[in-house]
Amino acid sequence: MDIPLAFATNLAGLSGPVGLADDLLTTTVRGEPTPRELYRRVLALSVQAVPGVLTGRLFGREADGRFRLLAATGHALELLDALNLEARDLVYNSAHRSQWVSGFRAAFGDHLPTDQLAMLELAHQATSLYSTPDDPKNYAVQVLIVPVLVSGEVRGVLQLDRPDTQRTATEARQNASLLEADLTLGQWCGAQVALVMQHLDTAATLLAGHKELNLLNRAHAAVTGARDLEDLFQRIISTVTELLGVQHATIALLDGNVLVPQQHVGGGVWGLSYPVTLGVAGRVARTGMSTLLPDVHQDPEYVEEHPDVISELCVPLLDGERIVGVLNLESSTQRLTPQDLRQVQALGVWLGRAIERERLYAATEQQRRALDLLHRVRTAVSRPLDLPETIRAVNESIAQTLGYPQVSVYLRKGDELVLQHQLGYEQVIERLPIASGVMGRVARTGQAAWIEDIDQDPEALKAMEGISSEVCVPLCLYGKVVGVLNVESVGERRLRAWDAELITAAGEYVQYSLERASLHAEVKDREVLYRLLAENTSDLVCLHQPGGRLIYVSPSITPLLGFAPSDAVLNKPALLVHPEDRYYIRRAFRAGGEAIRWRLRHRDGRYIWFETTISRIEQVTDGPEAPPGQFLTSSRDITARQGAEARLAWAATHDPLTHLPNRALLFERLSSVLRAAQRSGNHAYAVLYLDMDRFKVINDSLGHAVGDELLVAFAHRLQSTMRQGDLVARLGGDEFAVLLLGTPESGTQDGGLMEAKRAAARLQAALTEPFAVAGHTLRVAVSVGIAPGRAGHTTPGDVLRDADLSMYRAKRDRRHTVATFDPSMHVRAVRQLQLEADLPHAARAGQLQLHFQPIVNLISGRLHSAEALVRWQHPQLGLIPPDEFIPLAEELDLIADLGDWVLHRACALYQSWNASQMSLNVNVSTRQFLKEGFVQRVEAALKVHAMPATHLNLEITESALVEDVDEAARTLAGLRALGVRVQIDDFGTGHSSLAFLHRFPVDVLKIDRAFIARLGEDAVSASVVKTVVLLAQALGAGVVAEGIETELHRSHLLHLGCPLGQGYLFSRPLLPGEFAAQWLGAAQADSSSPSPEA
């Protein structure tokens, strides 16, 4: 669409944005007009171009994505006047104030409103909207928002505001669109702004390239022209501050985890060292990643040192991939840009390489001088010179190598330092008190001193004019300061840190010379002392050559070994060593410094045990002329002690009764076998675990003396049946173990198992012969568990555990038998442990459940009673049958608590059903029945649940009656007194109670399912059932049959006279809800009909 004539008129006489942009490059170089001025001009043109617009703003998008105000024209009051709004409306009218004041603040602030930005991002075209107050009667402001697009990207926003005095806010909301001509003008204005931005970008790029080239040229000149690192850092800092216009700049080098500033301009604390965990520079030093902060306050790690800083950049100084330091720049007047970052990054690479080159050169030179000095000093101290001559040679080496002629060595005598040798001094100071001067301080404290500027140390004593620096190191002997080595420089040349390191190293060689001189004197003194000691001690003292030849033998050899020190046999001492000890002794003498035990032959042929300490005699000199080291031995007769220790060692690993190896020795041998098996993969071994059956009966009846004799005889017979090399051990009591290794030809795990079975068979055969012990003829049998070797064994305990488990399997299955371990035994053992741990908490955890199985009238099929059966639903192991956890509860003494829970739960459910027409059966274990207070607990349960005692039937087994007849009778009487009925469960399968039944008030006999299952198949079962029925009738008791599964069972039972029964023919055990739904309704419906008495 063509631009309207009115717009063309508005452009008349103006310098258009295109013209302004064309002149941009040349004018920017001269500094006029600035970008802000250009933006202001193009905004003013846009405001004039669109009819009715009073105010305008131009926003630009920065690199971080935020929009910032570039220019603004017009005044807020002009717009308010055009809308006929009074000032008091802005101040006192809350509705106007909240809308208008916030609106103007957003418009004239640094950011555009959120809704406008979102619209721009989506539309990418000129858009209009109305900014209206809450009161619809007030007039509105029409806002034209124009995106500034550069290469399809929103680079800025042009906002033009025009008051709409012709329409109210309500009318404005109904029609918020601008005229098409206004939109076109707005888009044209946006295009002019975009053109200005493009030209500014081009100019900025050219200027940045020019600046970067200039920066690198000057940096290259600094690198190539610098005298040293300090000069290089000064030149670089001067260059970057001048070309980039920053006010603060720092070069800091890494020293471990600390940044140490080398050159710095600007205020603050940058002159101090600080850790790499602090600040932006620390982060760059840690990560090696450059950082640009246009706004420093947007980075939480920024440490404010200068309140005027607004922008920062920091780059690592790199030598290849190694970080050697950082270059940090901060600006107080401008925001640093990505172009600035790129320029400084290139500079950082150059600077890092230059730093490393300077360091390498300095280190090379330092190393060369150090090697030269140390070579000269070592050569001087290694010569066979006396101490004064050695000190003179060291001083001359230091002076020649370092070029500092002022060198002196003082040794301490009392409270003074006495001169030994000096070079380069005009006057001689023979003595110095240790209370004064630098040398005195070092002698007192033992701490070396490096004084780079002698004028800064008040204790310095200048021995001559012009001394500028000093290094003084202590000379120590056996941890004590005995003197000092002092070096001084004159004039501008100063001793540096590396000079101090070299002088310290040279001092160590002087210390070595002092130690050698001291050792010479000490050896002479000790030689006299040692000879006196050796000739007056009862121990055997010998001096040996490295090959073993004896140089000296003390006179004590005569009482100890029967030889004289001059006997010729001592020329070949190896002939006196026990043959078994010779190889061991040769190794001990080569190693030296250890105590050994060995045997030497007495003149009469017997061997004497000695404990000997071997001491290597260190030589005073270590040059090529030094003799090889000798050995001094001191030997003590320990024959008696050796015998006592051997007896103690035997007792620690053997059983005192049978003299067999004990558990400790078995574990030791088994550990060796396991290590060999793991290395070779050959598990051809096995362990037998033996337990004597009925030993406790013999021990208790015949006495412990007889038992001990039997154990000894059994051990001898057991050992006689095993092969030579098999280990037979007594574990304790009547338990034994045998460690068997497979035959050489087997070489497999099966070979070990086969040998174990053969050994068990030999033992069983040997035990057929009785033992004659203390006038008694005793027969003994054993249960044997075999644990064959397998890859899963890692410790001796693993093997013994497997053998123990298999032994218990043999004992449980059938006495006098053998069982071989299989992994299921371990699984069962682990399962048993888990059940033992979880059973005490099962009821509280809601894992126990009651199921109910109906007991019915076999004629009518009607419900007579119900048996409560407890089930354990384990969360990991699933349903646990009662025959597994009931015995466990008895073993853990939990049966009373478990029984109480079943009784209370069953009574509570019974009462909730209100089923008075039926009775309730609850099972009671033998332990629970005979436990003291059982009757009282039953009575308490009846009272708690208000249950009639006559409706409760307790089922017990025959074993409960015969285990303790008197107690059983008392308990049954107490239950009868309460009115509780008692039934004998599984009658005919347990201990026979026929002899006692007439004494017990029993109400019902329950026929075991084993007899019911064979009804119709054999006559014996029918006879048994008939007998039980007749017996019950004779006792006046009822009869109930268990395990009825077929109609044939039912008909036979009716024919045999049994009126009641239970089984899967009628129902499986049901959950309480299922039982009530299926049986209680029918029972209640037939409650008027009589049912047989049980």
Cβ atoms 325, 314 nearer than 8 A = no
- Find out whether the peptide bond into 17 is cis, omega within 30 degrees of 0: no
Domain at 654-821, CATH class: alpha beta
- Residue 605, C-beta contacts closer than 8 angstroms, at least 6 positions apart: none
Longest dimension (CA), the chain: 145
Token pair 């006879």: residue: 1023
Q: What is the DSSP letter of 729?
A: E
* pLDDT, tens digit (0-9, with 9 covering 90-100), for 49-60: 888 888 888 888
The neighbouring-strand residues paired with 953 are 921, 981
- Residue 1023, C-beta contacts closer than 8 angstroms, at least 6 positions apart: none
- 1047 pLDDT band (50/70/90 cuts)? very high
What per-residue confidence (pLDDT) applies to 1083? 46
Alpha-carbon Rg for the chain in angstroms: 54
Helices and strands counted in the chain (H then E): 37, 38
- Reading the block at residue 781, the tokens are 């049998």
Tell me what percent of the residues of the chain surpass a pLDDT of 70.
Answer: 78
- Residue 217, C-beta contacts closer than 8 angstroms, at least 6 positions apart: none
Cβ atoms 312, 296 nearer than 8 A = yes
* Coil, strand or helix at 405: coil
- 110 pLDDT band (50/70/90 cuts)? very low
701 vs 706: CA distance, rounded Å: 9
Cβ atoms 10, 191 nearer than 8 A = no
CATH code of the domain occupying 405-521: 3.30.450.40
Distances (CA, A) of 42 to 128, 193, 219, 755, 982: 20, 7, 40, 107, 112
Lowest average pLDDT, out of 142-146, 329-333, 670-674, goes to 142-146
Cβ atoms 801, 688 nearer than 8 A = no
- 366 pLDDT band (50/70/90 cuts)? low
- Residue 889, C-beta contacts closer than 8 angstroms, at least 6 positions apart: 839, 895, 898, 925
390 vs 513: CA distance, rounded Å: 7
Q: Calculate mean pLDDT across residues 626-649.
A: 79
- 566 pLDDT band (50/70/90 cuts)? confident
Report whether pLDDT(268) > 60: no
Lowest average pLDDT, out of 628-642, 747-761, 843-857, goes to 747-761
Return the half-sphere exposure (C-beta side, CA atoms, 13 A cut-off) of residue 853: 19
Cβ atoms 217, 81 nearer than 8 A = no
CATH topology of domain 226-363: Beta-Lactamase (3.30.450)
The domains of the chain are located at 5-204, 226-363, 405-521, 537-642, 654-821, 847-1084
- 465 pLDDT band (50/70/90 cuts)? confident
- Reading the block at residue 441, the tokens are 């301080």
886 vs 982: CA distance, rounded Å: 20
Q: Calculate mean pLDDT across residues 1036-1056.
A: 92
- Pairing, β 848-857 against β 67-73: unpaired
864 vs 325: CA distance, rounded Å: 96
Cβ atoms 1051, 1067 nearer than 8 A = no
Cβ atoms 985, 955 nearer than 8 A = yes
Cβ atoms 196, 158 nearer than 8 A = no
DSSP letters spanning 798-810: HHHHHHHHHHHHH
What per-residue confidence (pLDDT) applies to 738? 93
Name the nearest CA neighbour of 313 among 286, 351, 284: 284
End-to-end CA distance of the chain: 112
What per-residue confidence (pLDDT) applies to 887? 81
Report whether pLDDT(292) > 70: yes
The neighbouring-strand residues paired with 730 are 736
- 282 pLDDT band (50/70/90 cuts)? very high
* Coil, strand or helix at 620: coil
Q: What is the DSSP letter of 241?
A: H
100 vs 1026: CA distance, rounded Å: 108
What per-residue confidence (pLDDT) applies to 1043? 92
Report whether pLDDT(964) > 90: no
* pLDDT, tens digit (0-9, with 9 covering 90-100), for 177-222: 556 777 788 888 888 888 888 888 777 777 666 666 666 667 666 6
Count of Cβ atoms closer than 10 Å to residue 502 Cβ: 24
What per-residue confidence (pLDDT) applies to 745? 47
84 vs 88: CA distance, rounded Å: 12
- 924 pLDDT band (50/70/90 cuts)? very high
Report whether pLDDT(530) > 60: yes
Report whether pLDDT(32) > 80: no
Single-letter code of the amino acid located at 452: E
* Coil, strand or helix at 643: helix
Q: Calculate mean pLDDT across residues 130-152.
A: 69
* pLDDT, tens digit (0-9, with 9 covering 90-100), for 728-786: 999 989 999 999 987 544 445 565 778 888 888 888 888 889 999 988 989 888 888 89
Tell me what percent of the residues of the chain surpass a pLDDT of 90.
Answer: 22
Report phi then psi at 969, rounded to 5: -65, -40
531 vs 533: CA distance, rounded Å: 5
Tell me the residue length of the chain: 1094
Report whether pLDDT(384) > 60: no
Q: Calculate mean pLDDT across residues 33-57.
A: 84
* pLDDT, tens digit (0-9, with 9 covering 90-100), for 683-741: 888 999 999 888 888 888 888 899 999 999 999 999 999 888 899 999 989 999 999 98
- Reading the block at residue 283, the tokens are 């982060």
CATH topology of domain 537-642: Beta-Lactamase (3.30.450)
Asked, colleague to colleague, whether 226-363 and 847-1084 share their fold, the answer is: no
Q: Calculate mean pLDDT across residues 271-283.
A: 84
Cβ atoms 1022, 1030 nearer than 8 A = no
Q: For domain 5-204, give its CATH number from 3.90.870.10, 3.30.450.40, 3.40.50.300, 3.40.30.10.
A: 3.30.450.40
Return the half-sphere exposure (C-beta side, CA atoms, 13 A cut-off) of residue 295: 8
* Helices 1047-1056 & 1019-1035 angle (0-180, nearest 10): 50
Q: Is 224 exposed, middle or buried (0-12, 13-18, 19+ CB in 10 A)?
A: exposed
The neighbouring-strand residues paired with 313 are 292, 329
Q: Which helix (H) or strand (E) holds 287?
A: helix 279-287
CATH code of the domain occupying 847-1084: 3.20.20.450
411 vs 484: CA distance, rounded Å: 6
Lowest average pLDDT, out of 78-82, 617-621, 803-807, goes to 78-82
Name the nearest CA neighbour of 734 among 712, 717, 754: 712
